[in-house]
Amino acid sequence: MNCRPGCGACCIAPSISSAIPGMPQGKPAGVRCIQLDEANQCRIFGQPERPAVCGQLMPSTEMCGASASAALAWLMQLECDTAPA
């Protein structure tokens, strides 16, 4: 499965604990990654400075749903369900 053009949900919903260029402390859940451009595409896709966790996240029917808003909602719920207590 390929990413939905213009979605960007996986670059907004999850928290990322590793450094991202421009975000040396990573990013909290629900915060737009600084590397997400105006078209919701990753500026560092395929680059070595891209966090490993980003490269390991693969699109799926369950995660991506029928729309960008569905993907954002699913990923935000997953983030809540897996956050430390």
Q: Where are the chain's structural domains?
A: 9-82
Q: What is the DSSP string of 50-70?
A: S-HHHHH----HHHHTTSHHH
Residue 27's pLDDT is 97
Average pLDDT estimate for 7-13: 96
**Rounded CA separation 7/28 (Å):** 19
Count Cβ atoms within 10 A of the Cβ of residue 55 and give its class: 0-12 exposed, 13-18 middle, 19 or more buried: exposed
d(CA 52, CA 6): 22
For residue 33, how many other CB atoms are within 10 A of its CB?
Answer: 23
pLDDT digits (tens, 9 = 90+) for 50-81: 999 999 999 999 999 999 999 999 999 999 99
| Residue 24 confidence (pLDDT) above 80 | yes
pLDDT band with cut points at 50, 70 and 90 for residue 83: confident
What are 28-51's pLDDT values in tens digits?
A: 999 999 999 999 999 999 999 999
